[in-house]
Structure 1
């Protein structure tokens, strides 16, 4: 699937651990999330670049997906 497909919308950008956690929560409620890796500043991670993960969901599932992302983020902030 191409990320240029206008039917998919980015709902999260962050580190791998958080992205995997959010993706699992989305899948638990039946939302198919796609993770795309982004290299911050186009730097090689070996030389100090950081890999960021983007989560994309189908626009029809956007409202429910955003609720999951907000819930996960508030739970993490509470820790």
Structure 2
């Protein structure tokens, strides 16, 4: 994944990342989920990031994605 084409837009646990990912997909944005902890586990290494994932979106969709992410984050904050 080229860092010039994609930008990390969200980081969190599996449940929160899934919520944000679903909202992005509903808007026609296909995010990439990166799970370093799972990759390390599968390779046989211990991981401090177990359960945490990162979401990346293509730079062309960044502005649209950030509007959605900010809305979802706001909804999650008011729900707690």
Paired residue for 2:51?
Answer: 51
- Structure 1 segments of 4 or more deviating over 4 A? none
Deviation string, structure 1 residues 24-51 (Cα, Å, up to 9, x no partner) = 1001010011100133xx8735xx6533
Larger % of strand: which?
A: 1
Q: Which of 10, 16, 23 in structure 1 is aligned with 2:14?
A: 16
Gaps of 5+ in 2: none
Across the two proteins, how many residue pairs are aligned to each other? 73
Question: Which segments of 5 or more consecutive residues in structure 1 lack a partner in the other structure?
Answer: none
TM-score, normalised via structure 1 length: 0.80
TM-score (structure 2 length as normaliser): 0.79
